[in-house]
């Protein structure tokens, strides 16, 4: 097996790839993990290429645009349907898949029996291990350095006050869907006497019972797309990531990366392997806990690592990742 890495945020020289047919859900909104990754990579690819987008379920649109494509890039969770689609499309043009979640077992079984003639880009080594292929590439999750950056202690205090939070309490933040399986109800475990609990919910896939429980516990819920989301990451003392299953989140959650980029330490459960692949400057800035451990104790312990410098070690930009992907799309081996 050959596994190739994008090892640093350096730019790669790429030949212009005239037309890339990009199959994913890209609509200009950054309110969901997979869409966020696809949007950033697609936008960066447009610097050197012609990129046109078609929804994955739009078979008519795919067939209509296929003749003008000389490469196909797909960002989607790999399941049985995707296997057969890739098998078909690869007969016409070189096809590649960006994996941001662990593939379904049905996809793995089909591919390992009859390997696809395609390239795989993955944000997590754990997701790619079981896939039989000689064309596997590890890429990072990118960061918009202009937005997601640390602030000073003074600015942190001012942001808390500006956003309407108690400056005398530890501010714990989670950004994501208020849905079943995400376990955002665990925010209720933080006592209100010591913590400001904040959930920024996308408004998608919302579970009304969970929403009600959080409201009754006094958790601040902010719904919808927040254009100044970086201010909440900067104001937070701790970022809390309660999700334990890769069925509900992408394998390396963007919200965790963005919090760390803003100098905010993280408390997370130890069951999501992709989180352990994030490179941080100080291991203590990410505290992994088990179900029987106190979330509030963990938060009070890790908040001391709130930093005026990024907590990520050698993070990559979206442009550097897209340059690497574009280079490999143009490499026809």
- pTM, whole model, 2 decimals? 0.89
Other C-beta atoms closer than 10 Å to the C-beta of 290 total 8
Task: Specify the pLDDT at position 5.
Answer: 47
Other C-beta atoms closer than 10 Å to the C-beta of 145 total 14
Task: Assign 292 to helix, strand or coil.
Answer: coil
Name the residue among 215, 309, 220, 249 with its Cα closest to residue 100.
Answer: 249
- pLDDT of 31 higher than 60: no
d(CA 48, CA 60) in angstroms, rounded, equals: 27
- pLDDT of 12 higher than 50: no
Residue with tokens 């410098």: 309
Question: Would you place residue 216 in the very low, low, confident or very high pLDDT band (cuts 50, 70, 90)?
Answer: very high
Give, as one character, the DSSP assignment of residue 46.
Answer: T
What average pLDDT does range 10-28 have in this prediction? 65
Question: Would you place residue 25 in the very low, low, confident or very high pLDDT band (cuts 50, 70, 90)?
Answer: confident
- pLDDT of 13 higher than 90: no
Question: Would you place residue 333 in the very low, low, confident or very high pLDDT band (cuts 50, 70, 90)?
Answer: low
Q: Tens digit of pLDDT for each residue in 50-95?
A: 999 999 889 999 999 999 999 999 999 999 999 999 999 999 999 9
Task: Assign 203 to helix, strand or coil.
Answer: coil
Task: Specify the pLDDT at position 27.
Answer: 52
- pLDDT of 206 higher than 60: yes
Name the residue among 174, 58, 78 with its Cα closest to residue 121.
Answer: 78
Residue-by-residue DSSP string for 87-133? HHHTTTS-EEEEE-SPPPHHHHHHHHHS--SEEEEES-HHHHTT---
What average pLDDT does range 36-56 have in this prediction? 91
Q: Which two tokens stand for residue 69?
A: 């494509």
Q: Which two tokens stand for residue 67?
A: 């003749």
Task: Give the strand order in the sheet containing 170-176.
Answer: 220-223, 195-201, 170-176, 238-241, 266-269, 286-289
Core vs surface per residue 7-39: b (16+ CB within 10 A) or e: eebeeeebeebebbbbbbbbeeebbbbbbbbbb
Q: Tens digit of pLDDT for each residue in 105-152?
A: 999 999 999 999 999 999 999 999 999 999 999 999 999 999 999 999
């Amino acid at each position: 097996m050959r596994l190739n890495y994008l090892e640093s945020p350096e730019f790669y020289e790429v030949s212009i790839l005239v037309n890339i047919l990009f199959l994913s859900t890209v609509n200009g909104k950054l309110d969901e993990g997979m869409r966020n990754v696809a949007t950033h990579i697609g936008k960066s690819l447009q610097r050197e290429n012609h990129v046109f987008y078609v929804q994955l379920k739009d078979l008519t649109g795919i067939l209509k645009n296929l003749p003008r494509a000389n490469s196909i890039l797909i960002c989607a969770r790999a399941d049985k349907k995707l296997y057969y689609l890739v098998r078909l499309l690869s007969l016409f043009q070189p096809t590649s898949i960006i994996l941001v979640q662990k593939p379904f077992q049905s996809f793995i079984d089909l591919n390992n029996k009859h390997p696809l003639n395609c390239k795989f880009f993955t944000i997590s080594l754990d997701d790619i291990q079981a896939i039989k292929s000689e064309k596997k590439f590890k890429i990072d999750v990118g960061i918009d350095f202009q937005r997601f950056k640390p602030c000073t202690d003074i600015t942190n205090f001012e942001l808390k006050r500006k956003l309407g939070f108690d400056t005398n309490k530890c501010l714990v933040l989670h950004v994501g869907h208020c849905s079943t399986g995400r376990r955002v109800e665990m925010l209720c475990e933080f006592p209100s006497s010591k913590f400001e609990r904040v959930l920024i919910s996308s408004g998608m896939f919302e579970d009304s019972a969970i929403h009600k429980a959080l409201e009754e516990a006094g958790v601040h819920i902010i719904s919808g797309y927040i254009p100044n989301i970086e201010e909440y990451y900067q104001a937070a003392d701790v970022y809390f990531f309660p999700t334990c299953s890769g069925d509900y989140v992408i394998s390396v959650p963007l919200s965790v990366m963005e919090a760390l980029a803003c100098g905010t330490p993280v408390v997370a459960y130890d069951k999501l392997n992709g989180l352990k692949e994030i490179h941080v400057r100080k291991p203590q800035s990410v505290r992994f806990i088990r179900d029987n451990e106190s979330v509030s104790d963990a938060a009070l312990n890790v908040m001391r690592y709130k930093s005026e410098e990024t907590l990520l070690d050698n993070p990559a930009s979206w442009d550097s990742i897209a340059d690497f992907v574009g280079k490999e799309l143009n490499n026809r081996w």
